[in-house]
Amino acid sequence: MKPTKGEQLFYLVNEGILLLAALSCLFPLLHVIALAFSDFDAVMSGFVTLWPKGWSTEAFQLLLEGGRVPRALLNNVIITLVGLVLSLVFTTAAAYPLARKRFYARRFFTLAFVFTMLFNGGLIPTYLVVNSLDLLNTYWALWLPGLVSTFNMLIIRTFFLSLPEELFDSAEIDGCGELRTLFHIVLPLSVPVFATIALFYGVGYWNNFFSVLIYINQADMQNLTLLVQQMIQSQSILEGLNNAPDAGQIPMTPESIRAAGILVLVTPMLIVYPFLQKYFVKGVMIGSIKG
C-alpha cells in the first residue's frame, strides 16, 4: 500500500529528527578522536574540530606507558568479567523459579523483587552495611550490592514465561529435573535475552565509577573509569602523567590526554556492541511481550 503524502511527510520529518540526534552523538566522539590524535601545537592553537591535525599518538603512548592506566584498565576488565558472570548466574537463578508456574510462592517473591525497584535503603545505610561486612577495598563491594538487577531479572523471567509449557512437560516426562531442564533446554533457547542482559550488565560494570569512588580507596585497585573521571576534574593527575619518568619528550596538552583516556575507556564497548547487536532488539522485545 502506497503511503499518503501525510505519511511521507511524517517519515521525512521523523528521519530528519533521528539524523540530527545521531549527529549530535557522533560529533562529540569525532571531536574527542581528533583531540586524541592531534599534535601539541594543533591542540594548543584551538583549531582542532572533527579531524586530527598534525597526526600524533603521543597521548596514547603517554597513557599506556605509565603505571596507573594499564593497571586501571586491567582492573576494569576484572571487575566487568567477574561481575558479569556472577550477575548472570544469580539473575538466572532468581528468574527461573519465578517463571515456573508450579512454584507456589512466585507471586510473593516477584512482588518482593519489584518492591526493591521502588524503595531502597539509600547510600549511607548501604555504605554502613558494606563496611560492617568488611568489604571496603575489595571488589565484592562492587559486585554484591548490585548483584541482581530487578529490571534485568524481570526481562529474563518474562522470556522464560514465553517458552512453550510443552517443552517443560516433555522434559519432565523424559525424566529431566529442574537443573537439567534449565541447562539443556531453557538456556540454549535463551541466547538472545542473555546477550542483551550481558550487555546491560557489562556496560554497567565497565562504566561504574561511583561505587569505586566510595568503596575503593587503594589507588592500585581503582578502575580506568574512575581514573578518567579524575583526569577530567583534576589537573594534578594530568601533570603527574606528563612529568612521569617514562613520559615522552614532547609534553601533551591536558585536552589530548583526557581525550585519549576517554577513547581507551569507550573503545572496548564499541568493539563488543556490534557482535551483540543482532541479539539486542530481539532479546528486549521477546523479553517484554508477556507479563
Q: What is the CATH number of the domain that holds 120?
A: 1.10.3720.10
| Cβ contact 135:221 at 8 Å | no
- Same domain for 166 and 35: no
Of 150, 138, 141, give the one whose Cα is nearest residue 94.
Answer: 150
Separation CA 41–CA 130 (nearest Å) = 48
Mean pLDDT of successive 10-residue segments in the chain (291 residues)?
A: 80 91 88 83 76 78 75 91 94 90 85 87 88 92 91 90 84 83 87 87 91 90 86 64 53 75 85 75 53 45
Separation CA 66–CA 271 (nearest Å) = 24
Separation CA 164–CA 170 (nearest Å) = 10
- 249 three-class SS: coil
- Same domain for 150 and 116: yes
Residue 66: per-residue pLDDT: 63
Residue 184: per-residue pLDDT: 86
Separation CA 154–CA 203 (nearest Å) = 19
> Has residue 51 been placed in a domain?
no
Burial class (CB in 10 A: 0-12, 13-18, 19+), 178: middle
Range of the domain at 27: 5-45
Residue 287: per-residue pLDDT: 47
Residues 106, 107, 109: CA angle, nearest 5 degrees: 65
| Cβ contact 193:99 at 8 Å | no
- Type and span of the H or E element at 123: helix 123-132
- Same domain for 76 and 176: yes
- Same domain for 191 and 94: yes
| Cβ contact 108:169 at 8 Å | no
- Same domain for 102 and 10: no
> Has residue 52 been placed in a domain?
no
